[in-house]
Amino acid sequence: MQSIGMESNWAVEHLQVIRTLMERSALYRRALAPIMIYNGVVGLAAAAAGWGLRVGSPRGFIIFWAAVCAVAMAGSFLLVRRQALKESEPFWSPPTRRVTQAFLPPLAAGLILSVVVLAGVDSAPAHLDKVIGMLWLPLGWVVLYGCAFHAAGFFMPRGMKLFGWAFILGGCGLFALGIPDWTRPLVYAYGIMGFFFGGLHLAYGIYLYFTEKNGNEP
């Protein structure tokens, strides 16, 4: 009787080990700290530059942040590629494919939304163009970016989904608040972008820098 129980326990433990290994194998395991820190620095620098240069028209704001997004994505791509080369591993690995596929739908929605707003913002009533282009759209970006991270979080280390939730809840919360009376749209818009795409990335990157084991563990 005892041997029957032992055999059952052994089989359960074996299945648990198999499940854990299968999950680990499917996880994206590149070091994320450098990527997060890089994006944080780019986000903060861009927010400061945009505010300093007074890029204040909705159209200019959207084009400016589209360019920043391109720089951030290109840099992230190079960092991931460098890590893959350093470890003699394929860049386009199955986990990388899964993470990219998870990221794509919300990011594509953000891109389509931006193009629609860019095309129509000039014909919006004068008092609405800044609200649409410099408040609603950036908050839409924040929420969709959070959705992208949450989706990719299923194939990434724990914590990434929480990071996504911070964007989603933060973005929705600011939607509800609207533009406070004490601030100007320009300052507020760049403040939102700097806080979410700069500050949050940088803070999480610094946290990961001190917590990621060997830079490659899930």
Partner 1 sequence: MNPEPFLQLDRVIHEKGRLAIMSMLAASPELSFTEMRDTLNMTDGNLTTHIRTLQETGYLSVTKSFQNNRPLTTCALTAAGKKAFSNYINLLEQIIRQNKA
- The residue ranges that bind partner 1 (CB under 8 A) are 4-5, 7-8, 11-12, 14-15, 17-18, 21-26, 29, 85, 87-90, 93-95, 214, 216
Q: Which is nearer to partner 1, 12 or 116 (CB)?
A: 12
Q: Which is nearer to partner 1, 10 or 183 (CB)?
A: 10
Phi, psi of 83 (to 5 degrees): -65, -40
- Kindly state the smallest distance separating residue 76's Cβ from partner 1, in Å: 19
Q: Which is nearer to partner 1, 17 or 66 (CB)?
A: 17
- Kindly state the smallest distance separating residue 158's Cβ from partner 1, in Å: 16
| Whether 26 contacts 95, CB under 8 Å | yes
Phi, psi of 30 (to 5 degrees): -70, 150
Contacts of 145 (CB under 8 A, 6+ apart): 106, 107, 110, 167, 196, 197
Distances (CA, A) of 72 to 13, 16, 22, 27, 107: 44, 39, 32, 23, 14
- Kindly state the smallest distance separating residue 84's Cβ from partner 1, in Å: 8
Q: Which is nearer to partner 1, 211 or 216 (CB)?
A: 216
C-alpha to C-alpha distance for 13 and 143, rounded to whole angstroms: 41
Q: Which is nearer to partner 1, 183 or 216 (CB)?
A: 216
- Kindly state the smallest distance separating residue 130's Cβ from partner 1, in Å: 48
Contacts of 101 (CB under 8 A, 6+ apart): none
- Kindly state the smallest distance separating residue 31's Cβ from partner 1, in Å: 12
